[in-house]
């Protein structure tokens, strides 16, 4: 099947042809969930909207939104009442569900997704688009070195790779970096899929303990996911150099959609939205409670609606990532919307009235490349996002610098934070290998650390 997805009328969110397609698919999806799920029917009735009267996209802002708390409640209720965790918002027969996966919540309670066979087909189609963007070819040896489990980026990624026709080497990251490095030498994959921090660990361990040069193993590209590292220039450069000039691609999904709906291109100019025929995204401004037009440079949260998902589509789901969008055509030639993630609204700290994303602190520390390893931890004294300055930050140095170098480095980082992020920080420096990275259930590095108040 010819999938002419790169045409402007298929990607440009302001193109009338795409807008018409999205409206029609959205209308059908709203009617479907209204008819098939008592949960959605009640929710829509309560909000006073009826999909049978949905006649213009302007009406969509009146539809109720969905968030992870509601999703979790809905899933707890379906477990109690119907013996499955897919939520009261399930919109297909439970026996039509072909696979379940889970994503980690920041609070530790997982949320579950189900996919029908048709959902999996659309995932495979979207994956093929992403693969094309990343230069992946059928028959390429692809090592899956991420955590291989029911997490969305685990077995479901292997499933999509198999459908795509890759030659999959499903080792999984849980065997440890040493074993994965050994298998890279023994199987010579062209592509490695893992988290950026796992890739960095492999490089470090290969150099310091294993005596293996990963730059000569023939790795052509790394597809990384789960952490912002794949979009941080210093980390991209480090990985590319360490793996002998490999191209680095960031894989990231949209909550509740038939992912991947986003992909990076070789220009590394943000993430491209590659499946507007499969997901409807609104750009939402929390402060003014309005949906923003798609304009270059606009900032807001994405609100996701799965347009053709059969099993429990999320309708107007807010997942709390703040984005900045780019609407000008990319240097790679592709039209449509691109974006960068500014950070999670949930993780956002308020330091002396200044909004601070932990990733922004980490990225700034990373600009001292060569002097710092990139292991960074922000200490947080309570559950509240409000932090009294100075913000306490642990930073790991390269090697064991003497006290003069430490004093200078500490001062330079603190000054740069003050200058660029506009708040006071107190940096504590650690020798290399003494600030241990901690991982969450899906292999993501934790940036925040609970600390007793000082």
Would you say 356 and 423 are in contact if contact means Cβ atoms under 8 Å apart? yes
In the complex with Zn ion, the residue whose CB is nearer, 6 or 15, is 6
Based on the shown chain and the rule CB under 5 A, indicate whether residue 265 belongs to the binding site for Zn ion: yes
CB of 270 to Zn ion, least distance (A): 8
Based on the shown chain and the rule CB under 5 A, indicate whether residue 332 belongs to the binding site for Zn ion: yes
In the complex with Zn ion, the residue whose CB is nearer, 73 or 267, is 267
Q: Which residues pair with 262 in a beta bridge?
A: 273
In the complex with Zn ion, the residue whose CB is nearer, 102 or 128, is 128
In the complex with Zn ion, the residue whose CB is nearer, 135 or 390, is 135
Phi, psi of 444, deg, nearest 5: -80, 140
In the complex with Zn ion, the residue whose CB is nearer, 153 or 265, is 265
Residues in contact with Zn ion, total (CB under 5 A)?
5
Q: Which residue has the tokens 């707890």?
A: 76
The single residue among 24, 267, 295, 449 that binds Zn ion, judged by CB under 5 A, is 267
CB of 332 to Zn ion, least distance (A): 3
> What phi-psi label fits residue 327: left (phi over 0), alpha (psi between -120 and 50 degrees) or beta?
alpha
> Cα–Cα distance between 322 and 61 in angstroms, integer?
19
314: tokens are 């999320």
Q: Which residue has the tokens 């790779």?
A: 161
Would you say 283 and 292 are in contact if contact means Cβ atoms under 8 Å apart? yes
> Cα–Cα distance between 349 and 330 in angstroms, integer?
32
> Cα–Cα distance between 127 and 133 in angstroms, integer?
10
Q: Which stretch binds Zn ion (CB under 5 A): 26-34, 165-173, 276-284, 327-335?
A: 327-335
Q: Which residues pair with 103 in a beta bridge?
A: 111
What x-and-dash track marks residues 111-150 binding Zn ion by CB under 5 A?
Answer: ----------------------------------------
Angle at which helices 403-421 and 358-366 pack, to 10 degrees?
A: 130
**Strand, coil or helix: 368:** coil
Based on the shown chain and the rule CB under 5 A, indicate whether residue 183 belongs to the binding site for Zn ion: no
The single residue among 330, 405, 437, 451 that binds Zn ion, judged by CB under 5 A, is 330
Task: Kindly list the distances between the CA atom of residue 15 and the CA atoms of 11, 39, 206, 297, 339, in Å, as whole numbers in the listed order.
Answer: 8, 34, 49, 18, 18
Q: Which stretch binds Zn ion (CB under 5 A): 221-229, 332-340, 366-374, 375-383?
A: 332-340
CB of 268 to Zn ion, least distance (A): 8
Question: Whose CA is closest to 306, among 29, 86, 67, 121?
Answer: 29
Based on the shown chain and the rule CB under 5 A, indicate whether residue 8 belongs to the binding site for Zn ion: no
Q: Which stretch binds Zn ion (CB under 5 A): 54-62, 281-289, 334-342, 373-381?
A: 334-342
136: tokens are 């992946």
In the complex with Zn ion, the residue whose CB is nearer, 13 or 393, is 13
Question: Whose CA is closest to 447, among 226, 192, 208?
Answer: 226
Q: Which stretch binds Zn ion (CB under 5 A): 152-160, 194-202, 326-334, 417-425?
A: 326-334
CB of 273 to Zn ion, least distance (A): 11
Rg from Cα positions in the chain: 23
In the complex with Zn ion, the residue whose CB is nearer, 11 or 246, is 11
Q: Which stretch binds Zn ion (CB under 5 A): 44-52, 88-96, 117-125, 259-267?
A: 259-267
In the complex with Zn ion, the residue whose CB is nearer, 201 or 231, is 231
In the complex with Zn ion, the residue whose CB is nearer, 270 or 306, is 270
Residues engaged in binding Zn ion (CB under 5 A): 265, 267, 330, 332, 334
């Amino acid at each position: 099947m010819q999938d002419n997805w790169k045409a402007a009328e298929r990607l440009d969110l302001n193109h009338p042809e795409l807008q018409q397609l999205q409206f029609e698919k959205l209308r059908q999806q709203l009617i479907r969930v209204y008819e098939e799920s008592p949960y959605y029917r009640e929710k829509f009735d309560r909000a006073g909207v009826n999909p049978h009267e949905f006649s213009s996209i302007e009406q969509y802002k009146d539809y109720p939104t969905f968030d992870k708390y509601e999703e979790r409640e809905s899933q707890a209720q379906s477990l109690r009442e119907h013996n499955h965790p897919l939520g009261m918002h399930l919109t297909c027969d439970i026996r039509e569900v072909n696979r379940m996966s889970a994503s980690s919540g920041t609070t530790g309670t997982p949320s579950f997704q189900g996919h029908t066979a048709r959902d999996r087909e659309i995932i495979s189609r979207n994956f093929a688009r992403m693969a094309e963007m990343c230069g992946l070819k059928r028959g390429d040896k692809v090592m899956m070195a991420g955590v291989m489990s029911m997490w969305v980026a685990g077995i479901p990624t292997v499933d999509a790779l198999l459908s795509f026709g890759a030659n999959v080497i499903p080792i999984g990251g849980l065997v440890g970096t040493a074993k994965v490095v050994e298998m890279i030498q023994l199987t010579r994959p062209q592509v490695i899929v893992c988290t950026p921090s796992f890739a960095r660990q492999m490089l470090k361990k290969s150099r310091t303990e294993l005596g293996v040069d990963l730059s000569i193993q023939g790795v052509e590209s790394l597809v990384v996911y789960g952490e912002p590292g794949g979009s941080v220039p210093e980390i991209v450069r480090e990985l590319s150099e360490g793996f002998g000039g490999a191209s680095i691609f960031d894989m990231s999904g949209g909550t509740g959609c038939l992912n991947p709906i986003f992909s990076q291109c070789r220009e590394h100019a943000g993430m491209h939205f590659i499946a507007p025929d499969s997901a409807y995204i609104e750009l939402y401004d929390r402060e003014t409670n309005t949906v923003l037009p798609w304009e270059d440079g606009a900032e807001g949260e994405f609100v996701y609606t799965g347009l053709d998902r059969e099993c429990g589509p999320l309708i107007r789901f807010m997942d709390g990532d703040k984005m900045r969008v780019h609407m000008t055509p990319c240097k790679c030639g592709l039209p449509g919307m691109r974006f960068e993630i500014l950070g999670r609204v949930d993780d956002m700290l308020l330091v002396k009235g200044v909004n601070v994303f932990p990733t922004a602190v980490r990225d700034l520390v990373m600009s001292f490349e060569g002097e710092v390893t990139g292991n960074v931890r922000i200490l947080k004294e309570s559950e509240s996002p409000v932090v009294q300055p100075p913000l306490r930050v642990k930073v790991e140095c390269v090697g064991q610098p003497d006290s003069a170098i430490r004093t200078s480095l500490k001062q330079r980082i603190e000054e740069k934070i003050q200058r660029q992020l506009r708040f006071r920080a107190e940096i504590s420096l650690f020798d290399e290998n003494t600030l241990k990275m901690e991982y969450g259930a899906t292999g993501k590095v934790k940036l925040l650390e609970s600390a007793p108040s000082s």
